[in-house]
Amino acid sequence: MRTTNRRRRKENAENVLFTLPALLLVIIMMYVPFIMSGYYSLTEWNGISKTPVFIGLANFHKLFSNSSIFAGTILFTIRYTLLFMIGSNVIALILAVALTKKFSAANVFRGLFFIPYIMSLTIVGFIWKFIFTKGFEKLFGLTGMGFLNYSWLGDPHLAFYSIVLVGIWQALGFYIVLYIAGLQAIPQDVLEAAVVDGAGPVQKFFRVTLPLLGPSITTCIFMSLTNGLKVFDIILALTKGGPGTSTYSTTMQIYQEAFTNNNYGLGSAEAILYFIFVLVTTQLVLRLMKKLEVNL
């Protein structure tokens, strides 16, 4: 009995010792900066002066005033996230179904679709900036297709859809892999039973395959939601928030306010509000997807 208790205490001590460094890093890198941001959001500080000036809720009041562009960045981010979620998941699911079919080049296409995902978002942005400007210009000269001559990054409406297109293109391979894993985990006898019962390809997909893909769909929706809400790199590389402020995401606005305008107090207030918005949104979507997953 004593030997067992000693062993237990030793194991508990080892668990604490092995966990402590990681826990300290998480506290130092995440929780301490978050608490400091909460304090700085109540101050006026340029990031250089030694003593921030406490101004209470003035920064939050400013964000809710008519002169603030913060609300506009939230709307832009919501629009981007919705299109990114729908586009990436629908296209990824279609391609995943196609790539689970048995044909010789299936593995090659899987690799080709996954390559953009392992590339840096900033590099992807610069590549597509070159394509939208120089590449389309050359193709227009060769083919004469009118849409190639549009100002894809200069027009506010087209710039938004250009960013969505690049975001979907870059992330597509990741969601394809998740959907392929889900499709391959579906028991074959269930699909064969559906065929025996007279289900056609369309009925088999929507009545058997899709409901069994519930966990994969929930995972992909949640991942695409979080990736859409934190979009930053692609915008920085493609448009830098332009033309004007038409492609400012919320993360871009926080970065500009804090590190370009040197207004750390207002930037921290924006970060706190956006954290609450993201927390509420992700929890609501996750609960909704769990309910839909049960009902499928």
pLDDT tens for residues 156-205?
Answer: 889 999 999 999 999 999 999 999 999 998 888 888 888 887 878 888 88
d(CA 150, CA 148): 6
pLDDT tier for residue 9 given thresholds of 50, 70 and 90 = confident
* Model pLDDT for residues 212-252, shown as the tens digit of each residue: 898 899 999 999 999 999 999 899 999 988 888 889 999 99
Cα separations in angstroms, 63 against 33, 231, 257: 21, 21, 12
Angle, helices 70-99 vs 106-118, to 10°: value is 160
| Spans of all domains in the chain | 2-40, 69-295
Domain 69-295: homologous superfamily in CATH: MetI-like (1.10.3720.10)
Angle, helices 70-99 vs 214-229, to 10°: value is 140
C-alpha 252: how far from chain center: 14
Give the predicted TM-score (pTM) of the model. 0.89
**Closest of 250, 285, 287 to residue 269, by C-alpha:** 250
d(CA 170, CA 166): 6
Residue 137 has pLDDT above 70, yes or no: yes
The answer to whether residues 129 and 237 touch, using CB atoms and an 8 Å cutoff, is: yes
The residue that leads in pLDDT, 3 or 104, is 104
pLDDT tier for residue 296 given thresholds of 50, 70 and 90 = low
Q: DSSP character for 65? A: S
- Residue 2: predicted pLDDT: 64
- As separate numbers, helices (DSSP H) first and strands (DSSP E) second, the chain gives 15, 2
